[in-house]
Chain A
Amino acid sequence: MRRTIIILITFIGGLYYFLNFVLPQETPLVPFLTPDIKFSDAIEEIGRVTLVIGVFAIFLGVINLSRLHLGRISRRRPGWYNSVALLTAFAAMFTFQLLKTYAPSEWGDKFQSLLFDHMYAPINSTIMSLLAFYMASAAYRAFRIKSGEAAVMMFIALIVMLGQIPIGQLLTSGLKGAEGTNPWYSYLRLEVVREWFMGVWNSAAQRGILFGMVIGAFALTLRIWLSLERGSFFDREL
């Protein structure tokens, strides 16, 4: 019984969007009764309601996080001061963000800016910039001529890297033909080869992946929507 309800609910959840996609644009919402109200006109309201219902879930994460860290603080686990910092940061950010929106004041805004522009944002972009370092160490470690695949990947990466910096381009700048001519060897310049790999090989391979992925996503969508999916989460009797 419960299982049937849930299968039905899953189906209904997706039905509107599916019908909205499949039915022609002029379809009225309720046939014969409301010729002026189109089926697709309801999309905004339905979207709004589902959005609101969804957002109620946000506090679930907060509840769990507070339980975890309050527990750590009360039991004085090692590193409990970090939990204090976490909860303080949470409370401060939440308060000042709301204050900024609903009761702006000079110093309130300044503190919000301290928390957001001078802590949150820089930490964010610094973590992101760690990638520059990781990139270097990953390339050094991984690009060895151990297998054909690794060698191909390394070779292409080297060409692309050389082709996008001025010094690399200088290496093959001698291959340029005279002004206005386009001899065959001018196609061997690094930036041209790079363009070729990016434009033809890479685009084509990406498109191949995309086609496969669309079909895969299609099948999975269908399976979940029609409750055909199997696996621990999907077929346990309730």
Chain B
Amino acid sequence: MGKAWYEIIQDIDRRIIYLVVFLVVSIPFFLSIRAPMEVGPPAQHLFDCVENIAAYNKTAPKEKIVLIIPEWDPAVQAECKPQTRAMMEHCMKRGVKFATMSWFYPQGVELAEKVAEECEKKYKKKYGVDWVSWGYKPFSLATFLAFIKDIYTLVEKDSKDTSIREVPLMKNVDSLRDVGLVFYVSGGSGIGYYINYALPEIGFSIGTGCTAILGPEMRPYLDSRQLVGMMEGMAGAAQYEKLLEFKEGRGTRGMGSQSFAHLWIIFTIALGNVGYLVHRRRLRKAQKGE
């Protein structure tokens, strides 16, 4: 005896679901589909924070810089790379100088440097003047605390092996107090060190670019204003790209695949429920008939 349609759609083989996921995520790679996002408050606040720093720098005697901490590796680059890129684009576009360094992932800062070099070409900026890399520093709480007190005890050379005092950008930077925003891009939770140890000492703003997985964990910090804003996953990057009017960004592009995959999941959920409800109704009718 064959199954009724409402039983079939309740029990689709998982392999078919897998196959369709694979196909719908693949399609946008072969067709150029762009999908702009509506901007949410977390991304907007982060954007405003950088804008404020840019405005402050125009009038203040001493410029503030942005410190970008790329704590990611290739495994999460689908989300973290567009976030890093968007922030760097923004800084370069507004002429805000930035530094970058990583504590947990040696690869993080290398990958971020590559991203910065791509931006550099686009905006015709120069290493050392507009941005600097402080390199990878192995983390220990003691070194981190020392770093908060004085960056120069830890960062003696930049990642290109020049003495840090000779980098033009650093002439303006005496301590972490000259940092306006720390932007922590990560799929892990090391941001707690900045919130718990650095924030009470130094009143900078902290923003984060996190994977979508980490988003809910970051919410309480947003709520308690310990974080000014965040880019949440690929969608966060896409929102930021929209604010920047940066159309060829990887976040915006990835959202095409995301949309199709989401729609497929929603469709299967709906299908399963329709089957379930019809089935239940039929069963009830059958019971009444007896």
Residues of A within 8 A of B (CB): 44, 121, 124-125, 128, 132-133, 135-137, 139-141, 143-146, 154, 158, 161-162, 164-169, 173, 189, 191, 195, 198-199, 202-203, 206-207
Task: Check if A132 sits within 8 Å of B35, measured CB to CB.
Answer: no
In the assembled complex, the CB of B224 is this many whole angstroms from the nearest CB of chain A, namely 9
Q: Please state if A167 and B41 are interface contacts (CB–CB under 8 Å).
A: no
Stretch of B10-18, B81-89, B110-118 contacting A (4+ beta carbons < 8 Å)? B10-18
**Please, how many residues of chain B have a CB less than 8 angstroms from a CB on the other chain?**
42
B268 touches A140 (CB 8 A): yes
* Given A132-B261, A137-B14, A207-B220, 9 new contacts (CB under 8 A): A121-B73, A136-B17, A136-B268, A137-B18, A145-B277, A154-B269, A166-B37, A173-B38, A203-B216
Q: Look across to chain A and name the residue whose beta carbon is closest to the beta carbon of B77.
A: A125
A-side contacts of B14, CB under 8 Å: 137
Q: Does B62 contact A (CB under 8 A)?
A: no
CA distance A83 to B81 in the complex (A): 38
The smallest beta-carbon distance between B250 and chain A, in angstroms, is: 15
Complex contacts, A202 vs chain B, CB 8 Å? 216, 219
Quick check: is B272 within 8 A (CB to CB) of the other chain?
yes
Given contacts A144-B272, A167-B259, A173-B38, contact A199 B264 (CB under 8 A): no
> In the assembled complex, which residues on chain A have CB atoms less than 8 Å from the CB atom of B269?
139-140, 143, 154, 158
CB distance from B79 to the nearest CB of A (A): 12
Q: Is A136 touching B215 in the complex (CB atoms < 8 A)?
A: no
Q: Which residues of B contact A (CB under 8 A)?
A: 12, 14, 17-18, 21-22, 25, 35-38, 40-41, 73-75, 142, 215-217, 219-220, 222-223, 233, 235, 255, 258-259, 261-266, 268-269, 271-273, 276-277
CB-based A-B contact count at 8 angstroms: 103
- With A137-B18, A162-B262, A203-B220 as known contacts, state yes or no: A169 contacts B37, CB within 8 Å: yes
Interface of chain A: mostly helix, strand, loop or mixed? helix
Instruction: Tell me whether A145 and B12 are in contact in the complex, defined as CB-CB below 8 angstroms, given that A133-B18, A158-B266 are known contacts.
Output: no
Q: For A173, what are the chain B residues with a Cβ–Cβ distance below 8 Å?
A: 38
B75 and A121 within 8 A (CB): yes
Closest partner residue, chain B, to A172 (CB atom): B38
Considering the chains assembled together, what is the distance between the CA atoms of A145 and B263 in angstroms?
A: 19
- Give Cα A88 to B37, complex, Å: 49
